[in-house]
Amino acid sequence: MKKNKTIDCLGMGIVPFDLLFSVNKYPKAEMKIDAADFKMQGGGPIPNVTVGLSRLDYSTALIAVVGNDVIGDLGISELESEKVICDFVIKKKQSSAVASGWIEKDSGRRTMVLSRKIFIRPDDLMLSDYPIPKIIHLDGRDMPATLKLARWAKKSGAVVSFDIGSIRNDVSSVFPLVDHLVVADSYALPFTKSRTAKQAILKLKKICKGTIIVTEGIKGSLGFENEQFYHQPAYKVNTIDTTGAGDAFHVGYLYGLLKNKRLPSRMKLGAVVAALKCTKPGARTGLPNVKQLNKFLKTDLKSYMS
């Protein structure tokens, strides 16, 4: 990829390959059950977002590391088939990351287990080779590299977007560099020791001066920008699988940001894309193209309840 090529979103994050088992009911300890269905698909919060934005006709590229193995090759091949630029993906001798998920058929709830022993190091980043994007999207899995890329983004004039869904390590050192902080309540509430999303936002805004959104699953999302709160309800659809719903919200949100939409519209687009995703199994199958997104925005949603 040429350095002077325009890019809309450059993401950096893990590239696990998802093994998804659909089960009628979650098994108890020591039980053996048969899966109702099985699906293999590339995953990872940032790769999912690059795929989603690519389907919505925006150019995307990914910075990542994968193993020099079949799993890594499958993950990259799938991304490239979605027109995600993978020129900045590095292969290492370690094994690629793999995630195993159980999805309960009736509820669409899911449980994920990640096996990962491969990391992005600051020295892996070749900043002089990267095009300056409109948006840098990060997940904070590898904090030294995340901080390095976020600082480069700020110096380069790119907008920094950050996603975190649960507490794994301390990522708050990057918050002062973040322009759009979209976090799940499963992170925001325990991190800030709050009982509500509003309380969490009021505490987060002390260390992040950008726009802050807390997603709350079926309750929707709460956003804060320019000293004003906004609430976006979740859309009710026939939920098949919630895997990647948070990633899908980011897709819609960043799509709105690239279109210069105001916060309420960005949150609505996030809710729409998340709802569409949940009507299909896996993190990517239900991510819409522009035609599908516009159809959803115009419909009365009844066709998605059948």
DSSP string, 82-147: TT-EEEEEEEESSPPPEEEEEEETTT--EEEEEE------GGG--GGGS--EEEEEE--SSHHHHH
Compute how many other C-beta atoms are within 10 angstroms of the C-beta atom of residue 174.
22
CA 52 to chain CA mean position, Å: 9
Q: Is the full-model pTM beyond 0.85?
A: yes
According to CATH, the topology of domain 7-13+43-68+82-91+126-301 is UDP-N-acetylmuramoyl-L-alanine:D-glutamate ligase (3.40.1190)
Instruction: Count the alpha carbons within 13 Å of 21 in the hemisphere toward its beta carbon.
Output: 15
Full pLDDT tens readout for the chain, 306 residues: 656 577 999 999 999 988 989 899 888 888 889 999 898 888 999 999 999 999 999 999 999 999 999 999 999 999 999 999 999 999 999 999 898 988 888 887 888 888 888 899 999 999 999 999 999 999 988 999 999 999 999 999 999 999 998 887 889 999 999 999 999 999 999 999 999 999 999 999 999 999 999 999 999 999 999 999 999 999 999 998 888 999 999 999 999 999 999 999 999 999 999 999 999 988 999 999 999 999 988 875 554 443
The answer to whether 4 and 131 are in contact (CB under 8 A) is: yes
- CB burial of 270-286 (b: ≥16 within 10 Å; e: otherwise) equals bbbbbbbbbbbbbbbeb
Diameter over CA atoms, the chain: 56
92: which 2 tokens?
């290492």
